[in-house]
């Protein structure tokens, strides 16, 4: 059963399968109809609506889709920190974690395995640092590539640990990219980088923006978007 909390005072919330989840309303000038989605980590329900949309209608819309929201919430994988002989996603591959105290501490990929040494205590933290370092290197190269295509100078790149966004482009040009994308296939990661580079030229989602993005990205953009929509929540499983 769905119950609404604080509908008339403070941020609205919805209870999904016994869990209280905030509802965030986002108004956009170019939006013509309401859309609904669950944040990748299940932390919030997002309703996008036109500027003229009524808050009550948006909340009713979310409530009417409560069964769908609960099904999406159930699909979010349970956190499973990496462990010896477990697995780790990297660039679309599933690597076996081959840990041994006799191996070098610096991880190395070989034959479908991630070889790593050092103490077993703190292994998840070391693996996360390694993934973040790989993300910075790979995304930095992606950024330089797409900026060259767009004819703009590469901006400052920062990694994001956001729970709700894959990427963003700030007003000063700084691009932030979610480090978890290093676990996704390369074409998926690159599609997000290309998206943010297109925002350096068009700070909106206008037809001109989409035309530029189509020119910049060499892959199948709809397929990359579908992958993120279908598999994106799984990128949070190992490290939350």
* Domains defined along the chain, listed by start: 4-75 (no CATH), 122-236 (3.30.2010.10)
Quick check: 41 and 164 in contact, CB under 8 A? yes
**Euclidean distance between CA atoms 127 and 239, whole angstroms:** 10
**Euclidean distance between CA atoms 167 and 169, whole angstroms:** 7
104: left (phi over 0), alpha (psi -120 to 50) or beta: beta
pLDDT recorded at residue 10: 64
**Euclidean distance between CA atoms 185 and 231, whole angstroms:** 11
**Token digits for 154?**
């590469």
* 3-state percent breakdown (helix, strand, coil) of the chain, nearest 5: 40, 25, 40
Pairing relationship of beta strands 4-5 and 35-38 according to DSSP bridges: unpaired
Residue 214: φ, ψ to 5° = -65, -35
| Residue in this structure with the two tokens 């209280």, named with its chain if needed | 20
* Total Cβ atoms within 10 A of residue 88: 24
pLDDT recorded at residue 9: 57
**Token digits for 133?**
């370092």
pLDDT recorded at residue 32: 84
| Residue in this structure with the two tokens 């933290």, named with its chain if needed | 125
Torsion of CA 143, 147, 148, 154, to 10 degrees: -80
Which positions of the chain have pLDDT values less than 70?
1-10
**Euclidean distance between CA atoms 90 and 98, whole angstroms:** 14
* Neighbouring residues of 20: CB distance < 8 A, sequence distance ≥ 6: 5, 13, 14
pTM as predicted: 0.75
Quick check: 196 and 140 in contact, CB under 8 A? no
| Residue in this structure with the two tokens 């997000």, named with its chain if needed | 192
């Amino acid at each position: 059963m769905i119950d609404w909390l604080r509908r008339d005072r403070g941020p609205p919330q919805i209870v999904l399968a016994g869990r209280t989840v905030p509802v965030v309303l986002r108004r956009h000038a170019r939006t013509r109809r309401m859309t609904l989605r669950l944040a990748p980590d299940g932390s919030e329900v997002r309703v996008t609506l036109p500027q003229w949309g009524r808050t009550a209608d948006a909340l009713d819309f979310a409530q009417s889709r409560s069964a769908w929201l609960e099904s999406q919430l159930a699909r979010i994988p349970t956190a499973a920190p990496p462990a010896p002989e477990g697995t780790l996603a990297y660039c679309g591959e599933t690597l076996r974690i081959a840990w041994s105290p006799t191996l070098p501490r610096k991880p190395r990929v070989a034959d479908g395995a991630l070889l790593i040494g050092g103490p077993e205590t703190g292994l998840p933290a070391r693996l996360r640092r390694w993934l973040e370092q790989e993300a910075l290197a790979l995304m930095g190269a992606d950024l330089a590539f797409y900026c060259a295509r767009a004819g703009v100078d590469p901006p400052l790149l920062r990694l994001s640990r956001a729970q709700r966004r894959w990427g963003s482009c700030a007003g000063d040009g700084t691009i932030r990219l979610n480090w978890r994308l290093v676990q996704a296939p390369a074409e998926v990661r690159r599609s997000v980088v290309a998206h943010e580079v297109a925002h350096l030229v068009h700070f909106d989602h206008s037809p001109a923006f989409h035309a530029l993005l189509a020119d910049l990205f060499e892959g199948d953009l709809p397929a990359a978007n579908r992958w993120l929509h279908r598999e994106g929540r799984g990128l949070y499983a190992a490290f939350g």
